[in-house]
Amino acid sequence: MKLKTRARAEPDVNLTSLIDVVFLLLIFFMVSTSFVKQSQISIRLPGAESVAIVEQRTEQLDIMITEQGTFLVNGRELINSRPETIRNALQKVSGGDTSLPLTISADANTRHQYVVTAMDVAGKLGFVKIRIATVNDSAEQ
């Protein structure tokens, strides 16, 4: 017995009704949404007769590192280069004020570890304004 297989009909998806529904939802949300413009507050600031002079602090901290690894904090030489000694010197000189700018100046031949130690100690104390001093050598350009 030989059975004939019928050719299968491909399913046909009609997207017309789906597009109509999406279009109606779009219109519904556009009509129901309220576009409220935020009101801004108008403020008139008071005037002053005299100008207040704000005192600018020129204080800053300097850590200098020699080629041999000797640390100097604000020109005073430390007894050793241990992180605890650097931390104590920075706390003493800054008085606990970690908003002061801190400049690290190291000799060009200083070991990289000394600079990293100074940055690590300053970061752990909470200093965020840390600069590394460099020299602009125009001969190398």
Domain definitions of the chain by residue range: 61-140
Question: pLDDT band at residue 47, thresholds of 50, 70 and 90?
Answer: low
The pLDDT value recorded for residue 8 is 80
> Could you tell me the pTM of the whole model?
0.54
Q: Which fold has domain 61-140?
A: Nucleotidyltransferase; domain 5 (3.30.420)
Query: Dihedral, CA atoms, 37, 38, 39, 43, nearest 10 degrees?
Result: -140
In this model, does residue 26 exceed pLDDT 90?
A: yes
Neighbours of 88 (CB within 10 A): 14
